[in-house]
Amino acid sequence: MSVHASLSPASAEVRRLSAPDIRSRKGGEPIVALTAYHAHTARIADASCDVILVGDSLGMVMHGLESTVPVTLDMMILQAQAVMRGSRRALVVVDMPFGSYEASREEAFHSCVRVMKETGCGAVKLEGGRRMAETIRFLVERGIPVMAHIGLTPQSINVLGGFRAQGREEADWGPIEDDARAVAEAGAFAMVIEAVAEPLARKITAEVPCPTIGIGASPACDGQVLVMEDMLGLTPRVPKFVKRFGDLGPGIAAAIEAYASEVRARTFPGPEHTYAMKKPAK
């Protein structure tokens, strides 16, 4: 079987999850979400995850950028196309990158339409609470499922002054709660809550009608999401909220070292990895 064939949907009978499916999980079985940026990793994640997020974290994970701010719409579309080819069951949600949706509701609509048409994804994700509520409402009314993102919003890192946990003092809870209510009322089918004090994330989860998906938030959230490379041990520095469920970095390094050693010793490729001449026909 070719590589391309192995990445294609194996059966037309498998139904891909939709935004309404995820919304209906409020208060039920926890939603499992994970990022992916490639067809191969999407295929692996698809077996266990309900949501695959094509996150703008690809700027840092794949391209070595310092933040998500430089990520472009073209970058997101390219990787989302790969993820769609590699998955067949999970809802694929694509991050809208910084500068593609903030200027106006109309700009957001055109950017989101382009993403959904060119990738076939099932939903988009926008950062921001109250300030994005009207845009979320505008998009949902026009057929675009939106996942919201409140708390620490990485695209606003230059305003926030760094990657800092939010709501660690009760006096700061009000605006974050207002953000959660605003995006829920605007029609977001789910919301990511990032780097928010555990009691506040728990309180928001109990109060809003749509599922909350935590990342550095609370086990009480309706689901959890992590960056795949972080939880697999492939990134050198990770936030406090990341648990390394694997440590693939040393294994990959050891495999590459062994490969380099055999190439230099001319022991690879061996006879089993090369092609002999065909015997002449009699």
Phi-psi region of 99 (alpha: psi -120 to 50; beta: other; left: phi over 0): left
- Residue 219, CA distances (Å) to 3, 84, 123, 203 in order: 38, 29, 24, 12
Flag whether 179 is marked binding: no
- Give me the phi and psi of 93, to 5 degrees please: -115, 135
Write out the catalytic residue numbers.
Answer: 194
- Residue 78, CA distances (Å) to 38, 120, 227, 238 in order: 10, 12, 18, 25
Flag whether 125 is marked binding: yes
Give the chain's count of helices (H) and strands (E): 12, 8
235 Cβ contact partners less than 8 Å away, ≥ 6 residues apart: 61, 227, 229
Write the single-letter amino acid at 162: G
Flag whether 95 is marked binding: yes
The answer to whether 119 and 94 are in contact (CB under 8 A) is yes
Flag whether 127 is marked binding: yes
225 Cβ contact partners less than 8 Å away, ≥ 6 residues apart: 33, 34, 35, 51, 53, 192, 213, 214, 215
Quick count: other Cβ atoms within 10 Å of Cβ 268?
13
- Residue 245, CA distances (Å) to 35, 162, 225, 229, 236 in order: 14, 26, 13, 10, 14
DSSP-derived secondary structure letter, 155: G
Flag whether 48 is marked binding: no
DSSP, collapsed to helix, strand or coil, labels residue 126 as strand
Binding residues: 56-57, 95, 125, 127
Binding residues for 3-methyl-2-oxobutanoate: 56-57, 95, 125
